[in-house]
Amino acid sequence: MISKEISIQKYEEYKNLYKRIPKYREYLEYSGLNKQSLIKIFGEDAYAKLQNECGDVANKLSLEKTPLDKIMRQFGDLVLEMGRIPSSSHWIHKDLKPGISGLSKAPHFIKWSEFPEKFMSWLILSKEHEYEKAKEIIGQSSGNFKLKKVGDSEFEKLIKVVSLWSPARRRNSEGEYKIELRKHLEASGFGLNEEFGESNFDLLINKRYAIEIKKDPNLSEYDRMFGQLARHLQHQLNIIALVMDAPSQDKFENFSSLVDMYLNKDEKNIEVIKK
């Protein structure tokens, strides 16, 4: 049985190695402990008690959703500070919450490319007058900032189907994930080609939309994927970048922000999805 001292040691090791406080599941994976073992050591609210023991504020409250009002005020403040529509990298640099991937999930479903539009809608519904200057800045920037076009209902359907897809189990290779995803998409009524066309897409759907899959990417593989996506945009305007088993949330969010900053321009659209 692992002792209390060793469980604390593993927690501190993680912090020293990754320079941040581990999330609950990250700690369990790193330490080799399971939920039951931790409860035997610390009792109820075991991980919170472990964090307190190590001098940290328990992060179990991080599971609570950030209110929409706070999210929009953070965005408005960032617009005022920058004097223009900020990129997602500015949000990450300020360590604002939720993170980029968290924004796109329930209950808010805010994609970064849609943030200015959703912010403007929030201003109208909330009858908030504090951000009139931010509203003016966004309006003036609209000529240089292209909001995501949502008129392609078929691509929106594809995004939804891929987002809701859950692999039957963790796979050993990108190819195995590709086979399972292809079967899922075909069952949903999409026509597919594999490694198709001049750009050699992983999957081409209905000969209009590309999917590029990357499993367990490190930094150099994220760089390679970025180059592949840039090449794909020469042939297809709507692409899904599907990241499987991402080992680092920080690297994933940085990759997403770079895609949003440099590739999502004009009519081009890349939807980054993590599984």
**Is 153-274 a CATH 3.10.450 domain?**
no
Residue with more model confidence, 261 or 33: 33
Whether the per-residue pLDDT at 244 is higher than 70: the answer is yes
Pick the range with the lowest mean pLDDT from 24-33, 135-144, 150-159, 260-269: 135-144
Supply the pLDDT for residue 197. Answer: 62
Q: Position of tokens 């150099």?
A: 220
pTM for the predicted model, two decimal places: 0.50
Phi (first) and psi of residue 163, to 5 degrees: -65, -35
What is the spatial distance between Cα 101 and Cα 111, in angstroms, rounded to a whole number?
A: 8
Taking only the tens place, the pLDDT of each residue in 119-148 is 888 887 777 788 989 988 887 765 444 444
Residue 177 near residue 240 (C-beta atoms within 8 A): no
Residues of the chain with CATH 3.40.50: 153-274
Supply the pLDDT for residue 143. Answer: 47
For residues 140-162, give the mean pLDDT: 67
Terminal Cα-to-Cα distance of the chain (whole angstroms): 33
Nearest to 213 by CA among 255, 236, 241, 250: 241
Whether the per-residue pLDDT at 43 is higher than 80: the answer is yes
Strand order of the β-sheet with 238-244 is 192-196, 201-205, 209-215, 238-244, 269-274
Contacts of 44 (CB under 8 A, 6+ apart): none
Taking only the tens place, the pLDDT of each residue in 89-109 is 788 888 888 888 778 777 777
